[in-house]
Amino acid sequence: MREPTSIEDCVSSRRLVHNTRYHQFKQTEIDQIQVALLDWFDKEQRTNMPWRKPARSDLDKEALGQRAYEVWVSEIMLQQTQVATVIEYYNRWMDRFPTIYDLAAADIEEVNTLWAGLGYYSRAARLKAGAKKVVEEFDGLLPNNAKDLEKHIPGVGPYTAGAIASIVFGQQTALVDGNVIRVLARLRAIGADMKKANVVALFWQLATTLVPVERSGDFNQALMELGARVCTPQNPNCDGCPVQSQCLSRAHLNLHGKFLADGGFWDQKGMSTDSSQLEHGVDILECEFCPAMTNELDHDDYAVTRYPVKVDKKPPRDEECAVCILEKLQEGDEESLYLISRRPDKGLLAGLWEFPSLELGDNRTTYAQRSKRTTTFLKEQYNLDLTTTATVKAEVKRQDLDNVVHLFSHIRKVYHIEWVRIPAAAGIEMASTGQKKWITMDELKKAPIPTGLKKAIKLLEKARIGSTKASSTSAKRKQPPSSNTKDIASFFQKKRS
């Protein structure tokens, strides 16, 4: 089997020429990384995360099951979400659903309400579905190995399965997330497209190679923590990294600096400038993962932040939506009511509540066009006719509140917000049902509604403040002059002698 390219040959090629085996760890490196990373983790691990507890081998089956539930909940919450945000949500969740049985018995509405604001709401639905299945089919105990976790539990993929299996059950299994990919890409100088299947498989293979038999869960957490706190996307703390001696990307940078200081290593040693050849003119096999470079690199190009390679993302598609904040005014001092309806159980934002919303696709529309279409939409979908009579039409107040933008992973959604106020005297009624209901503003703020529409509520509150100020100013202008106040004309009248 061909030996890995040497670091000196790779750097002196000026194009980081290497073969496939260059990315693999040697056994001595594996041993050094395991020891160094676990030592660092013992000293530096964060202790403010309520789900992180010391690994124990004396727990009985029920205690292990509870521990697995806690880790499962935390790992699902941490997907696409920062630790600082998750802590509060995790504590509230465990207060309300302290065991997997509590979650399995819960109503999905309550689950979504507790999840509100955390985003990616399908995660909550999958947790609920998974808990129900575990209680009904596995006696309330999550499987104790990664293979069965991934196979049987809804929403549990390779990463979550690896986390539960290693952290809770001590299985020697890897996990790979964004932090781990960044650490491995720099340790092994992997300049490949991370989205390609064979490159994803390479990261899993490298991660699996590193996981020790003992303390596998601590090691996996250490690897993730290293990526989150030290080997960060920008401005990584290489000097404070416990595995800097095993990092190829750092070695590249240091060695290239030495070559420059020595006046150019390749010139002194007579190295070939042909990127397909190295010392002594020996041809090498190109790396099956990393694309060949056509341009020679400058010193700044050797920065560790060149890894992992930034892949161009497909731009999100534009979608527009007409949103109607329908406010029904009440008699006397009673609070206004707002109409919301429940989204379908499948698809984007499944099961959440929203204001009446009409999808416009990618069409560019005017307020007049949206208002006309919304009137028809409310009549057809909600049996609400805002133009029943001329009197009703005159009493209903409609106002364009501008728009708010919310970015999903694949969609740029523009919500055009209209505020429609219906006076009690207008006589427009619609009974609440399982899928549609009238609620107060306080209830609305606690309801599981999409983040984009929470922005709409802020627009409404801003508009209401502006409307109140305008009404107050207008009222002051209309006040009659005080009897003690002189009319301006009196100042120009002649005084009688």
Catalytic entry in 8, 29, 70, 75: 75
Q: Beta-carbon neighbour count of residue 185 at 10 Å?
A: 27
Q: Which residues contact 140 (CB under 8 A, 6 or more apart)?
A: 65, 99, 100, 101, 134
The phi, psi pair for 153, rounded to 5°, reads -105, 120
> What residues are paired with 317 via a beta bridge?
411
Q: Write the CA distances from 472 to 415, 463, 466, 485, integer angstroms.
A: 30, 14, 10, 21
Distance CA 97, CA 130 (A): 14
* CA 200 from centre of chain: 21
β strands within 147-239, DSSP E: none
- Is residue 140 within 8 A of residue 100, CB to CB? The reply is yes
Between the alpha carbon of residue 192 and those of residues 172, 179, 299, 455, the distances in Å are 27, 16, 20, 39
Tokens, residue 147? 């293979």
Please name the amino acid found at residue 455.
K
Residue 397 and residue 420 in contact, taking contact as beta carbons nearer than 8 Å: yes
Say whether 461 is catalytic: no
Q: Helix and strand tally (H, E) in the chain?
A: 18, 7
Angle at which helix 83-96 crosses helix 108-115, to 10 degrees, equals 150
What is the enclosing helix (H) or strand (E) of 399? strand 397-407
- Cβ atoms of 243 and 222 within 8 Å: the answer is no
Beta pairing partners, 318: 412
Q: How far is CA 50 from CA 196, 318, 378, 389, 476, in A?
A: 35, 39, 46, 59, 56
Chain-centroid distance of CA 3 in Å reads: 41
**93 closest CA partner among 109, 63, 113, 107:** 113
Taken as a whole, the chain contains a residue count of 497
Q: Rounded to whole angstroms, how far apart are CA atoms 210 and 205? A: 9
* CA 245 remoteness from chain centre: 33
Tell me if residue 69 falls in helix, strand or coil: helix
Residue 304, token pair as written in the block:
């560790």
Whether residue 46 contacts residue 52, with contact meaning beta carbons closer than 8 Å, is answered with yes
The answer to whether the beta carbons of residues 457 and 433 sit under 8 Å apart is no
**Token digits of residue 279:** 């010392």
Q: Which residue numbers are catalytic?
A: 75
